[in-house]
Amino acid sequence: MEKLMDKILDRTATVGIIGLGYVGLPLLIRFGEAGFPLLGFDVDSRKIDALLHGKSYIKHIPMEPINRFLGARQLDVTLSFDRLAEADCILICVPTPLTEKMEPDLRYVLTTTETVAQHLRPQQLIVLESTTYPGTTDEIMLPRLQQDGLKVGEDFYLAFSPEREDPGNKSFHTGNIPKVVGGITPQCLERARTLYEFAVTKVVPVSSTRVAELTKLLENIYRSVNIALVNELKVLTHRMGIDLWEVIDAASTKPFGFTPFYPGPGLGGHCIPIDPFYLSWKAREYDFTTRFIHLAGEINVSMPYHVLEQTVEALNQDSKCLNGSKILVLGVAYKKDIDDDRESPSYAIMDLLLERGAQIFYNDPHIPKLKPGRKHQYRLESVELSEELLREMDAVMILTDHSAYDYGWIAEHSTLVIDTRNATKHVTKGYGRIVKA
């Protein structure tokens, strides 16, 4: 049998990617552009069908290269995991959510690992990219992959390389974001590092899979803690009558020792609201309480309630009650200019509004319909913005600062604007109707 390293070096190794979502699809494109044969796996038949028909289900990911790979028979996508033996390198990009008790939910990693183990053959490389706690690769995956007698570092190779995706970022993408890689053995690291060097501009090797796993958690905990800091300051500065966004802009002029973070209505996305709790859970095994992580989580989770309080207070100023008020939500995506609504704080805020009797409407140029999810059961459609609609609303809430919105026009025709993103900072006409929350 031809050695795996030889196949990687001459780019004949088939790269199989499990999970064709926000992480797996860009990764597939990068390895395709590098010239590798590709196999894409997913359990969602709608994704496979869309790809085979040249249709995109993630707006910011182009279909042109995928169509090109399919046309050249460089790529095949499938629901059949029986074909895993055809792949020389298997990259796992599956979700790692939390349970209702805020504990790691590794069911997708476990199921995928067991499926890979059933089809594992000599001279295969398996890399987990899903964010998880330190120890997942060597404690959870390795024993299952070795159960039939194949030995890691000799017969097969196992590594961890955390995904680093920032949907909508025009400067950084899968190809130019440095890739951290840790292997179970030096031989595992060598093969994983060599593979990724074909697809990304810089690979950062580390001494173990645990170091690589914790690296990703540190990155997101850093953001979570700093966002919590400015969110807490937002509540304080509101009481003090100070515009925190102006303070942050002024502090940002310092050329050293300060990195700006901005407050908002809460945390969203698949990573930052979830990943810190993976480390908190694992820390209990060592009789350690991650107090900073818990405190940051408490503050960020409380922000939708702060937004609600500011909305109630603003309506009261107009002699209105939240119960029965018509509220228009602008933006459901968790960040600007993308179509990703995973863990979006907009849902938490809409829940609070509905619980208190408000009538809610929404507009999002990137998300035309709301579909039921893990934490919500909405079946709403985005309403078309018009002067008549804005005037009819008792309040318009800016929860996502999409570039497509004309904030001056919105402020001019709205009775009340609740701005959670400082999107109206350049608005002059109708400024008196704007409340920062």
Concatenating the DSSP letter of every residue in 22-78 gives TTHHHHHHHHHHTT--EEEE-S-HHHHHHHHTT--SSTTS-SHHHHHHHHTTSEEEE
89 is annotated as an active-site residue: no
* CB 372 within 8 Å of CB 297: no
Residue of 89, 188, 271, 321 marked active site: 271
Q: Both tokens of residue 267?
A: 């945390």
The four Cα atoms 39, 43, 46, 47 give a dihedral, to 10 degrees, of -40
Domains 4-207 and 223-436 share a fold: yes
What is the third-level CATH fold of 4-207?
Answer: Rossmann fold (3.40.50)
Q: Where are the domains of the chain?
A: 4-207, 223-436
Contact present, 150 and 116 (Cβ < 8 Å): no
Per-residue pLDDT of the chain (437 residues; tens, 9 = 90+): 569 999 999 999 999 999 999 999 999 999 999 999 999 999 999 999 999 998 888 888 889 999 999 999 999 999 999 999 999 999 999 999 888 888 899 999 999 999 999 999 999 999 999 999 999 999 999 999 998 899 999 999 999 999 998 777 778 888 889 999 999 999 999 999 999 999 999 999 999 999 999 999 999 999 999 999 999 999 999 999 999 999 999 999 999 999 999 999 988 766 666 778 888 889 999 999 999 988 998 899 999 999 999 999 999 999 999 999 999 999 999 999 998 888 899 999 999 999 999 999 999 999 999 876 655 667 789 999 999 999 999 999 999 999 999 999 999 999 999 999 999 999 988 778 899 99
124 pairs with which residues across the strands?
156
Neighbouring C-beta atoms of residue 107, cutoff 10 Å: 13
Class of 223-436 per CATH? alpha beta
Among 165, 164, 204, 152, which residue's Cα sits nearest to residue 182? 204
Q: Is 410 strand, coil or helix?
A: helix
Supply the pTM of this predicted model: 0.91
Gap between the Cα atoms of 90 and 16, Å rounded = 5
Sign of dihedral through CA atoms 206, 211, 217, 219?
negative
Q: Give me the count of residues in the chain.
A: 437
